[in-house]
Structure 1
Amino acid sequence: MTPASRTRAWPRGRTPGTDTDTGADAGAGTDTDTGADAGAGTDTGADAGMSTGTPPSPVRGTTVGVATVDPAPDPDPEAGPEAGPGSVPHPHGFLARAALVTAALSVAGALLGLGRDQALAHLFGAGAGTDAFLVAWTVPEVASTLLIEDGMAFVLVPAFSAALAHAARGTDGDPVRALVRATLPRLALAFAAAGALLIAGAPLLVPALAPGLPDRALAVDCTRLTATCVLTFGLAGYGSAALRAHRCFLAPAAVQVAYNTGIIATMAVLGGRWGVRSAAAGVAVGGCLMAAVQTPPLWRRLRHRTTRPVTVPRPTPAQAPVPAPAPAEGVSAEGVSAAGVPAPAKEASAPAENGPAPASAEKGSAPAPVPAENGSASRPVAFALVAPVLLFALCRQAQVLVERFLASGLPAGAISHLNYAQKVAQIPMTLSLMLCTVTFPVVARALAEGDTERARARVERDVAVASCLVLLGAAAVFACAPQIVHLLFRRGAFTAADTAATASVMRVYVLGLLGHTLVGALVRSYFSAGRPTWYPLAAMGAGLAATWGLGAWAVGPWGVRGIAAANAVGITVSAGLLLAGPGGRAVPVRVRPVLRALAGPAVAACGAAAAGLYCAEAVAPASAGSPAPGLAAGGAAVLLVHLLLLRVCGADAVTPLLRSAVRRMPHARRALFRPRSRPRPRSRARSR
């Protein structure tokens, strides 16, 4: 049964198929809500009206199947309405609004993370006990990188994006539900098995991570408590990837808020009786809260997905039939391999043998990747897709393992000083990469549609903006490091010597913040299409080797500062290799324009750091031991000088984007805080 043909006159400025309503009766358009109860970008209700004008009659002999209703893919809002065939433009300010939601929750999570570190420093200081806990803390750090931040996200976001793009053009069944049914049970079983293995092998793992640790028994107890996070982090990461592919960013951005809240609450309740073990128990509680935050919105989106008859249009003599864009290599919207990962597309998704060749989706854009023709090759292709992503994420996190391994032979408290300095210094990097988190599904969807040019422009803009933001934060941290550490941690068991040691390490750490940001932004140009590639792993391996070699040499004369310097050099080597990578990557980023975009912000950051350092030290003698005046003076000087030098240096790639973001913020705030209204009822006419 097909919808009745009807014609609708659309007002000026409106596009058929675009609708901003929410709820179960919304039109088959693009929902822009990002709240926990919102439509999250691509969902439509069970009774959605077909506001698509007059549908063409089916071709004689063509089967009209039942397909999942999904809106047309949304192009980049800056690409204009002609971004791609059959696409509708983003609602105005969608990315600005999503970035605002993500920024607000990222800041809240970062502040709670600081509160967690403050509570740890206040209750337990920086000694042998905190060193033992921080060795156990390696487990959730690695699990977070593999299962939430990098590893699984680079595999699952393109997989869900390909499934949504496939469903939007009409296919039998529901590719999204099929993907979930085939992957989630196997992955959950694997996560549980890995957690149990870590619990059993904790006595062997601790001496391998930190052979010089004095209190191994305490570290083993903490490791067994933190190992439970492998299952909960895996479930939370799966939900985050699926929701972000559906353009829902509220719940994924809230995971760190839930996680840090659980740790702080557990330390407050059990800290007096359990000691530092209470922090490890808080990791287990926080992991459960992370998974709980993701479950309700993901369940709603899967439950509300509906099927609807799809009418195949009659091709005209002047227009050759264009097949649906093929999913990325190794990722099919219709099935998955037995290994629990997306399988290649079947032959049914390819064009007919005698049909004309498919046209490019857009002038200047590359065609979609060609899927594997033989379904029997699904297992090796799937392994080649997943293995380099997970190994890359593990190799990236291994820099922290190298640091703690080298610092375990130093006096007690060295690992704690490294940890506190790293947590504070990396806040600018975390906030700058939130833009890449929001736009990663946009890049993956563009590649699924074959629009390489739009994906390249998006990645280059993200690299420019993220680098400018992280350089500003690095300048502020370098200039005001003693004041920041004093204000955050100087209380309880955290002494003046701990403050000085942590501040000195922090100033060395910031030298590698640009490298960390470039790695996080550029690696998306390799993994966003879902093609198997081993080059990012090789680049990270080279950087890790540099970190290990330089750290082993520098730890003797310079101690923890030498380890931090080795980290900065190693990650910078990896960033340079990723930027100058092979031309066959999924998104061909241009090296010279990116370097030109980085030159101005880098010069501005150096000048701002020098000015801020001078002002902070000039105010310190008159502040009577309080860090607030020096921090305020240094921070203000950094901001003013950085903006002035950006203007003088002519940061052409950054200034227009920041101006555009400022113009869009009022619309984003109005859209975010507008009152939710009940959906308007729609008349539905159906032919029997």
Structure 2
Amino acid sequence: MTAVMHRSLVRAAVVTVVITLSGSLLGFVRDLLVARYFGADGGTDAFLVAWTVPETAFPLVVEGAMAFLLVPLFSRALTEGREPRDVVAATLPRVVAALALGSVAVMVFAPWIVRLIAPGLADPALAVTCTRLTALTILTFGVAGYVSAALRATHVFGAPATIHLAYNVGILALIWSLHGRFGIVAAAAGVALGGALMVAAQLPSFLRHVGLPRRVTLRRTSLVTFGAFAPLAVYTLSRQAQVFVERFLGSHLEPGTISHLNYAQKVAQLPMLVALLVCTVTFPTLARNVAAQQVEAARKRLEEDLRTVTALIVVAAAYLVVFAPEIIGLLLEHGAFTAADTEATAAIMRVYAFGLFGHAMVGVLCRPFFTGERPDWFPAVAMGVGLAVNAVLAALLVPHFGGPAIAAANGAGITVTAVLLLVGMRRRVIDVSLASLGAAAARLGLAAAVAAVAGVLCGRVTHGAVSVFLGGAVMLAVFAVTAYASGVRRVR
């Protein structure tokens, strides 16, 4: 790789990370605003059921399917000296037609979809209205994913990175301006607007670097075989199906339970998203090591990622458990979000925190399976087993323990998946050292426990925002010192 190309990729990576993180932070502001204006009740539950549509569509047609189908196709066209717009002419009409059909189908069958996802919902009519609005995202997300894939194939990364930012700007704009008149429906309309802005934000760059086709061609075009795409799609849908379990069972509990679950999960997952950013940066190196059959280098790279993510997650989980009520109160207890909502959400978040390690490990361990020429089916199978454990445990425990039981079942299911992925990966992809990883995890877990004790003591002498910030600083310092003293040296 030339120095110029290396600098170009570094700049592209920095731009992508900065813009993507900005969009994610804006998404967190969106959640805070929803809590402030609408609280946690039957109306927010209805909106979250409708939000299942874009939540399912995004990983398929933006982050997953569309990229895996189209990036190789555009790349081959450029390698062969053909213009990208020729690929657009042969593929875009079919893609748009299929996406439009999907949006129309969800609009038409919205009542049945709502009944299937959340049969015990307090206000199903409101959920149907919101679902019909969010159904537009199947088309807009798909087109945005198509445009992103085409731009990335031509080495344009800035515009695709803006999609999270554009999406959340649309939602925030309508929530802020229309919440008083239309209530939670304004948020659903904002989701629809945000999807359209995802396309609009990339369109100028797409026209400049790719271009519209001179004519539409209807010849048969081979994208990627279904067999190569299917494992990734099944894995993605199986992981997303955890949300279906949550909303199906939550709909039979008190109104607002689905909202409490959602708020708790969104706050708890913030440290996990930061931790997995490490793996996003190192994944290309891991993929190159695997492709070049550099087994030892791939093993070291993966073990370093696992140790680093473990360190970040265990201290974050300890912090969330110790200061859950204070964190939720500081972030969400404003406007319509009451003290009772804070108590319920904090109780659920404490349970979710224990499952963060499993979620983070799945995020790391699934990647080696997708480094080969054809994605492996094993992650989809492992995720299916974990999903079954999640559903069975939740069904058994929810009648006795309510919302926290859903969070506990989620953690148990994803942990089973993580164990299966670790065992399967050692046999099929990379044989990591369980002894080394286990010793590091034990030391880091001990350091997190000591930090938790320090956090509890700090919480007894401080209150409110002071407790949240000072307690976090104390816990982080104690964790670092204890981990170092216990022999952890290899986590940079």
State TM-score, norm by structure 2.
0.89
User: 1:297/1:446 Cα in 2 relative to 1: closer, same or farther (>3 Å)?
Assistant: farther
Give the corresponding residue for 1:204.
112
1:332-357 CA distance string (max 9 Å, x none): xxxxx957533xxxxxxxxxxxxxxx
Give the corresponding residue for 1:260.
168
Give the corresponding residue for 2:430.
588
For 2:99 and 2:295, how far apart are their aligned partners in 1? 34
**Is 2:19 aligned against 1:105?**
yes
User: 1:154/1:442 Cα in 2 relative to 1: closer, same or farther (>3 Å)?
Assistant: farther
User: 1:196/1:107 Cα in 2 relative to 1: closer, same or farther (>3 Å)?
Assistant: same
For 1:480 and 1:155, how far apart are their aligned partners in 2? 44
How far the C-alpha of 1:412 sits from its partner, in A, is: 0.9
Q: Is the 1:547–1:567 contact (alpha carbons within 8 Å) kept by the matching residues of 2?
A: yes
Q: Which SS does the other structure have where 1:556 is aligned?
A: helix
Corresponding letter in the other structure for 2:479: H
Give the corresponding residue for 1:213.
121
Q: Is the 2:170–2:194 contact (alpha carbons within 8 Å) kept by the matching residues of 1?
A: yes
- Corresponding residue to 1:292 among 182, 196, 200: 200
The worse-fitting range, judged by mean Cα deviation, of 119-128 and 188-197 is 188-197
- Corresponding residue to 2:456 among 613, 634, 639: 613
**Is 2:492 aligned against 1:650?**
no
For 2:309 and 2:151, how far apart are their aligned partners in 1? 23
Corresponding letter in the other structure for 1:644: V
**Is 2:145 aligned against 1:237?**
yes
Q: Is the 1:512–1:569 contact (alpha carbons within 8 Å) kept by the matching residues of 2?
A: yes
User: 1:464/1:18 Cα in 2 relative to 1: closer, same or farther (>3 Å)?
Assistant: same
- Corresponding residue to 1:118 among 9, 20, 32: 32
Percent sequence identity over aligned pairs: 48
For 2:193 and 2:23, how far apart are their aligned partners in 1? 16
The worse-fitting range, judged by mean Cα deviation, of 545-554 and 637-646 is 637-646
Give the corresponding residue for 2:468.
631
Corresponding letter in the other structure for 1:223: T
Give the corresponding residue for 2:7.
32
How far the C-alpha of 1:434 sits from its partner, in A, is: 2.2
The worse-fitting range, judged by mean Cα deviation, of 536-545 and 424-433 is 424-433
**Is 2:383 aligned against 1:475?**
no
Alignment of 1:256-655 (within 5 A): 256-302=164-210, 341-342=223-224, 382-444=225-287, 455-581=298-424, 585=428, 587-592=429-434, 593-620=436-463, 627-655=464-492
Q: Is the 1:551–1:566 contact (alpha carbons within 8 Å) kept by the matching residues of 2?
A: yes
Q: Which SS does the other structure have where 2:252 is aligned?
A: coil
User: 1:219/1:383 Cα in 2 relative to 1: closer, same or farther (>3 Å)?
Assistant: same
For 2:369 and 2:397, how far apart are their aligned partners in 1? 33
Corresponding letter in the other structure for 2:45: D
1:208-242 CA distance string (max 9 Å, x none): 00010121110000000011111222233344455
Q: Is the 2:287–2:368 contact (alpha carbons within 8 Å) kept by the matching residues of 1?
A: no
User: 1:589/1:340 Cα in 2 relative to 1: closer, same or farther (>3 Å)?
Assistant: farther
Q: Which runs of 5+ in 1 are unaligned?
A: 1-16, 21-29, 34-40, 42-93, 304-336, 343-381, 621-626, 656-688
1:522-541 CA distance string (max 9 Å, x none): 21211232414221111001
Give the corresponding residue for 2:2.
18
For 1:267 and 1:430, how far apart are their aligned partners in 2? 25
For 1:338 and 1:202, how far apart are their aligned partners in 2? 33
Q: Is the 2:90–2:221 contact (alpha carbons within 8 Å) kept by the matching residues of 1?
A: no
Q: Is the 1:99–1:435 contact (alpha carbons within 8 Å) kept by the matching residues of 2?
A: no
- Corresponding residue to 1:222 among 130, 136, 142: 130
Corresponding letter in the other structure for 2:179: G
1:257-306 CA distance string (max 9 Å, x none): 22111101111122122111000000011111222333444554446xxx
For 1:194 and 1:649, how far apart are their aligned partners in 2? 55
1:310-362 CA distance string (max 9 Å, x none): xxxxxxxxxxxxxxxxxxxxxxxxxxx957533xxxxxxxxxxxxxxxxxxxx
For 1:452 and 1:243, how far apart are their aligned partners in 2? 33
Corresponding letter in the other structure for 2:18: A
The worse-fitting range, judged by mean Cα deviation, of 286-295 and 122-131 is 286-295
Higher helix share: 2
How far the C-alpha of 1:183 sits from its partner, in A, is: 4.7
Q: Is the 1:512–1:567 contact (alpha carbons within 8 Å) kept by the matching residues of 2?
A: yes
Q: Is the 2:366–2:379 contact (alpha carbons within 8 Å) kept by the matching residues of 1?
A: yes
Q: Which runs of 5+ in 2 are unaligned?
A: 212-218
Corresponding letter in the other structure for 1:341: L
User: 1:174/1:393 Cα in 2 relative to 1: closer, same or farther (>3 Å)?
Assistant: same
Would you say how many aligned residue pairs link Structure 1 and Structure 2? 484
User: 1:442/1:193 Cα in 2 relative to 1: closer, same or farther (>3 Å)?
Assistant: farther
Q: Which SS does the other structure have where 2:335 is aligned?
A: coil
Corresponding letter in the other structure for 1:128: G
Structure of higher CA gyration radius: 1
Q: Is the 1:98–1:438 contact (alpha carbons within 8 Å) kept by the matching residues of 2?
A: no
The worse-fitting range, judged by mean Cα deviation, of 571-580 and 458-467 is 458-467
Q: Is the 2:231–2:377 contact (alpha carbons within 8 Å) kept by the matching residues of 1?
A: yes
How far the C-alpha of 1:19 sits from its partner, in A, is: 4.7
Q: Is the 2:151–2:210 contact (alpha carbons within 8 Å) kept by the matching residues of 1?
A: no
Give the corresponding residue for 1:677.
none
Give the corresponding residue for 1:64.
none
How far the C-alpha of 1:553 sits from its partner, in A, is: 1.2
CA RMSD of aligned residues (A): 2.9
How far the C-alpha of 1:580 sits from its partner, in A, is: 1.1
Q: Which SS does the other structure have where 2:140 is aligned?
A: helix
Q: Which SS does the other structure have where 1:580 is aligned?
A: helix
For 1:567 and 1:146, how far apart are their aligned partners in 2? 21
1:438-460 CA distance string (max 9 Å, x none): 44445456656666665554444
Corresponding letter in the other structure for 1:543: G
Give the corresponding residue for 1:4.
none
Give the corresponding residue for 2:214.
none
